[in-house]
Amino acid sequence: MNSAAGTSSGLPAPPATSGETGARAVRGTAFGHGKVILIGEHAVVYDQPALAAGLAMGVTAGATDGTGRLTIPAWDVTVTAGDESPVGRAFGALLARLEVGDVDVSVEAALPSRAGLGSSAALAIAVARAVALARGRDDETARAAAAAAETVFHGTASGIDLAAAASGAIGRFRRSEGWRELPVLQAMPLCVGLTGRPRDTRAQVEAVRRLRERTPAVTAVIEALGALVEPAEHALAVGDIDGLGRLFDVAHGLLAALRVSSPELDAMVHAARAAGAVGAKLTGAGGGGAVIALAPGHERDVLARWKSAGFEGFSTGIGGKLEWPL
């Protein structure tokens, strides 16, 4: 497997090859997976374990000879490395880590931005690997460059988004231990709902930090989130979708206790359960963004319930190669 392509677990990604786009030769192409956090968001910042799953959908980056320009038409983004925009500063940090300046990068994005699905990490790993391939840098350096971009985007980033974006698999992550891919008995269908309200990871992480400082008992909530990881690992290993769903419900309650849920997120979680989901929770930083729900046999019901409430959603799969949406 070519590491620059960012593929794993049978999830599709474009090959890292050279080709022609318009008048310029594409020197490197790479893919970054979207992700959902299954269990452990926010707790992972405090060295608790967490579980994440890469998605088949993500972003594709192509690097050409150029002058440091990044374009993402789907997100209406055009920046120059090092300009004053957050994306421009992140792109500048990424290129500086790779010691490259003479490239342009064009990105095709199938992920919505700022929706809690790891769009910035998918972008960072795809761009870093494409540029690394184009200029002969190794994958370790590419990952470090992607991490530099994530630091610009989010400040204190745990690293779990970047690990999932690079892998595309289901894995366990702990800051002190890194990423470990997990055995999964069977692929699982997953409903993903979008609140339509952008979330700000940096702000949510900072809010939890302040809450923890002012209310030390919050540490027990963070540790309780970490304690859900082991039973969730077991549920994945034996294919216990109902058991994993119950853990989703518990996790959402704990995240609400950390004040990172929102009226929209709560409404979507309750709607999913009412439509037949065995469990649902917010995923990612919270405050907006996305909800995930396990609803075997009721995926269309969940999506219809969300749509009737004014929320968009889609079905995908985790833990294996599936043909989605449903």
Active site residues: 161
Cα–Cα distance between 245 and 47 in angstroms, integer? 24
**According to the 3-state scheme, what is the secondary structure of 203-250?**
HHHHHHHHHHHHCCCHHHHHHHHHHCHHHHHHHHHHCCHHHHHHHHHH
Question: What tokens does 32 get?
Answer: 């970054």
Question: What sign results for the dihedral spanned by CA atoms 106, 111, 113, 116?
Answer: negative
- 197-231: burial string, b at 16+ Cβ within 10 Å, e else: eebbbeebbebbeebbeeeeebeebbebbbbbbeb
Cα–Cα separations (whole angstroms), residue 244 to 41, 103, 209, 228, 277: 16, 44, 28, 10, 11
Rg of the Cα trace of the chain?
A: 19
CA 170 and chain centroid, separation: 12
β-partners of residue 188 are: 318
Backbone angles phi, psi at 140, to 5 degrees: -60, -40
Are 77 and 41 a contacting pair, CB within 8 Å? no
